Structure 1
Amino acid sequence: MSADRYFGLALDASPSSKYALKWAIDNVFKEGDHLILVVVHREVMEGGQVHLWGKSGSPLVPYASLIDPSIQKAYQLKWDEEVLQYLEEAVTVKKLTVVAKVYWGDAKEKICAAVVEIPLDGLIMGSRGFGTFKRTLLGSVSNYVVNNVPCPVTVVKLPGPL
């Protein structure tokens, strides 16, 4: 019997993030693992949970609550059908324990904080695939995280044309 494994997955609405979720479900997770979705909002919505949890991030939100529209609204979660389908597969087929931790602020800082606070055995995140010029101007969240967290990080790129 193996020990419990806790993996974080940085999730936003980007195609690379959704692909990383599907890739991780298919290639990384084993039955009984814990999947902690790390969601970081740069924008603050009026009336949301940011007023309670803005500095420390939300408490861990269980999967059953994540699919509740009122909870999604309170935490500014905008799951599309594809993400909901992947999460359902993670819970029912892979038998993962799925929870989310929501932060507000700078993505690279908050993702690094999540790794330490939760703590995580590993982190999976998508790559937007910026070229050198855009990466220089905008910075790379994945590069920053890889170099500043104490656990292994897997950066998943969208597949290119074959």
Structure 2
Amino acid sequence: MAESRYFGVALDYSASSKYAFKWAIDNIFRDGDTVILVFVNKEIQDGTQADLWGENGSPLVPFEDLSDPAIQRRYQLQSDEEIAQYAEEATNVKKVKVVAKVYWGDPKEKLVKAVIETPLDALVMGSRGLGTFKRTLLGSVSNYVVNSVPCPVTVVKLPLSSNEAE
């Protein structure tokens, strides 16, 4: 059997991040891999685990536990049928282990932290598709991460036919 690989998938509930997850299932994952869904909450809500895990992120949470509304509230996660469907496909069809890790703070910094501390063999993330002006003004999370981590990063863009309102 091949050596187990650890992949991260950055998810923020956007169409581009969901598409990147689906793309990775179809093109990268194989039996025995571990997939860590990395969520970053920009803002901290009261009554969450942010005070406890804010600096280094949550412990790894089995994906099946994330359907529990109490756990969703605790980690500031949303119920998302599309992500759940993709995780189920990854688990049942590709035979990978799917877990989640939640961070609080700046997505650029926390994604880099996730890659370094886990450590990941590779990271897959979506691209918001900002134009040159907006990217210059706002900065690009994917560009920052690509240039700051020690592993390969695959940035997956939405197909041209998809329009995501940002």
Post-superposition offset of 1:125? 0.1
1:53 — aligned with what? 53
Distance between the aligned counterparts of 1:65 and 1:159, measured in 2?
32
Q: Distance in 2 between matches of 1:73 and 1:88?
A: 21
* In 1, Cα distance between equivalents of 2:118 and 2:7: 10
SS in 1 for 2:8: strand
SS in 1 for 2:36: strand
- Provide the residue aligned with 2:129 in structure 1: 129
- The equivalent of 2:77 in structure 1 is 77
Question: How far 1:77 moved relative to its partner?
Answer: 0.9
**Superposition RMSD in Å:** 1.1
Partner residue of 2:31?
31
1:141 shift after superposition: 0.3
For residues 80-91 of structure 1, what are the structure 2 equivalents within 5 Å? 80-91=80-91
Identify the residue that residue 152 of structure 2 maps to in structure 1: 152
Give the share of equivalent positions with the same residue, in percent: 68
1:32 to partner: Cα distance? 1.1
SS at match of 2:39: strand
Structure 1 residue 79, shift from structure 2 partner: 3.1
Pick which of 68-77 and 32-41 moved more: 68-77
Q: 1:37, 1:83 → 2: CA distance?
A: 10
User: Which AA in structure 2 matches 1:90?
Assistant: A
Tell me which residue corresponds to 1:2.
Answer: 2
Q: Is the partner of 1:2 in helix, strand or coil?
A: coil
Distance 1:60 1:38 in 2: 10
More moved, 105-114 vs 87-96: 87-96
Aligned-pair CA distance for 1:64: 2.2
Structure 2 residue ranges without an equivalent (≥5): none
Distance of 1:63 and 1:140 partners within structure 2? 28
- State the alpha-carbon separation in 2 of the partners of residues 29 and 16 from structure 1: 18
Residue 69 of structure 1 and its aligned partner are, at CA, apart by 1.8
Give me the TM-score of the superposition, normalised by structure 1.
0.97
Pairing 1:102–2:88 present: no
Instruction: Give the letter for the 1:44 counterpart.
Output: I
Q: Which runs of 4+ in 1 moved over 4 A?
A: none
Which amino acid letter does the alignment assign opposite residue 95 of structure 2?
A: K
Name structure 1 gaps, 5 residues minimum. none
**C-alpha separation in 2, matches of 1:131 and 1:91:** 36
TM-score (norm. length: structure 2): 0.95
